[in-house]
Amino acid sequence: MVEKNREGREGCLKNAQEIVLEKNMLGEDGSCLKAEQGSLEWLKLAFTLDHETGMPQGCHIYEYRDSNKLVEEFMLLANMAVAHKIFSTFPEQALLRRHPPPQTKMLSDLVEFCDQMGLSMDVSSAGALNVSSGGQKSLTKTFGDDKYSLARKEVLTNMYSRPMQMALYFCSGMLQDQAQFRHYALNVPLYTHFTSPIRRFADVIVHRLLAAALGYSEQPDVEPDTLQKQADHCNDRRMASKRVQELSIGLFFAVLVKESGPLESEAMVMGVLNQAFDVLVLRFGVQKRIYCNALALRSYHFQKVGKKPELTLLWEPDDLEEEPIQQVITIFSLVDVVLQAEATALKYSAILKRPGPERSLGLEKESDEEPED
């Protein structure tokens, strides 16, 4: 009897494994919908918490596994399928989600900047961002496959996100031009949120619409302007939730820096201003601004070479008889930083370390690791 139960369990596990692998093959055949259609992905910081206090005791950049991609692939497909169904059934009462195209002027400036950086990027759509000239077919190929390629991709993703507008819930009956229904980032004509009704009220509304569309309930008795008010409320709550999440991550990381810092890391420059510059801290995936007046500099000079901003830092020498050290800061420059807690409660700052010879002219340090097969 025990042996039969064991065989039965093993058979169920084997069947489940085969089903998952088959679905993964289907997802791969779709060439990863999200990547193919151009949705932008960001580095995410995850924390390990003390079981007793609930306070952060460590952190790492969240690893986006194939299993995550598989689930998200089919969630996106479900959301799109439901969007088409409820819109075709209730063209005036469908709750959809649209994402307007980016601001034209900012986008054209970005294209010009990328050209000057030697990056020929097609930004006609979010999906087209994955294709650049010269036969290079992805951001990964554009930036190479060394250990800094993900950081370079993240920097460009950050730059590309600046002209982007917020995605919004809306009632289909309140917009006359169906071209405005389009979701730019996902690069699809119709989209909605259906897969998470336990945490989003918009999904609950969509579930009710789908039930009516399938004949399980009566047609919803709601005017388009009333549904639009509900959509506006969902938009407000979603933006507030996003802001709280960002502040929560910042708060937890500040606590970690205070308790475990100072923390050292390589960083990549994301933006250059006339008296400061922004960096992506590679070890933790956080972004921070570094101010020139907080550094031991003799002087600094800002200039623009076309659209390309550049800061030249002149460091005071360790020995008065030595020459000052010059360091050039521009987009994609690699620098070394120290994160340290400030006197103000739960605040931390990033300090640029004095450059060594390989950093003094803004050069990237070569990886000493063997490339993976």
- The predicted-structure confidence for 51-61, as pLDDT tens digits, reads as follows 888 888 888 88
Q: Averaged over 271-292, what is the pLDDT?
A: 92
Query: What's the pLDDT score for residue 45?
Result: 86
271 burial via Cβ count (<10 Å: 0-12, 13-18, 19+):
middle
At residue 26 the predicted structure's pLDDT band, cuts being 50, 70 and 90, is: low
Question: How confident is the model over 340-367, as pLDDT tens digits?
Answer: 998 887 889 999 998 875 555 444 443 3
Query: What's the pLDDT score for residue 268?
Result: 92
Query: What's the pLDDT score for residue 367?
Result: 38
- Structure tokens of 241? 């939730």
Query: What's the pLDDT score for residue 65?
Result: 78
DSSP string covering 345-360, please? Answer: TT-EEEEEPPP-TTTT
Beta strands in 163-296 (DSSP E): 168-171, 263-272, 276-281, 286-291
Of the two residues 131 and 188, the one the predictor is more confident about is 188
1-10, 13-22, 211-220: segment of lowest average pLDDT? 1-10
Of the two residues 354 and 134, the one the predictor is more confident about is 354
Of the two residues 54 and 233, the one the predictor is more confident about is 233
- pTM of the full structure: 0.76
Query: What's the pLDDT score for residue 203?
Result: 97
Query: What's the pLDDT score for residue 106?
Result: 81
Contact 210, 85 (CB under 8 A): yes
Is the confidence at residue 215, as pLDDT, over 50?
Answer: yes
Residue 216's SS3 state is coil
Which residues, in sequence order, are bridge partners of residue 295? none
Query: What's the pLDDT score for residue 188?
Result: 92
* Cα–Cα distance for residue pair 371/254, rounded to 1 Å: 34
* Cα–Cα distance for residue pair 77/80, rounded to 1 Å: 5
Is the confidence at residue 137, as pLDDT, over 50?
Answer: no
- Structure tokens of 198? 């336990």
Report the 10 Å Cβ neighbour count for 55. 12
Domains and CATH numbers, the chain: 66-101+165-256 (no CATH), 104-161 (no CATH), 262-352 (2.40.50.140)
Pairing type for strands 263-272 and 276-281 reads antiparallel
* Maximum mean pLDDT: which of 24-33, 171-180, 304-313: 171-180
Question: How confident is the model over 101-113, as pLDDT tens digits?
Answer: 888 888 887 787 7
First to last CA, the chain: 48
At residue 85 the predicted structure's pLDDT band, cuts being 50, 70 and 90, is: very high
Contact 308, 330 (CB under 8 A): yes
At residue 125 the predicted structure's pLDDT band, cuts being 50, 70 and 90, is: low
How large a percentage of the chain has pLDDT more than 90?
43
Average pLDDT over the chain reads: 81
Sign of the Cα torsion 88, 90, 91, 93 reads negative
Sign of the Cα torsion 266, 271, 272, 275 reads negative
Query: What's the pLDDT score for residue 133?
Result: 33
* Cα–Cα distance for residue pair 191/182, rounded to 1 Å: 8
Contact 220, 208 (CB under 8 A): yes
* Cα–Cα distance for residue pair 171/92, rounded to 1 Å: 7
Question: How confident is the model over 48-84, as pLDDT tens digits?
Answer: 888 888 888 888 888 777 777 788 888 999 999 999 9
Check residue 118 and give left, alpha or beta (phi > 0: left; psi -120 to 50: alpha).
Answer: left
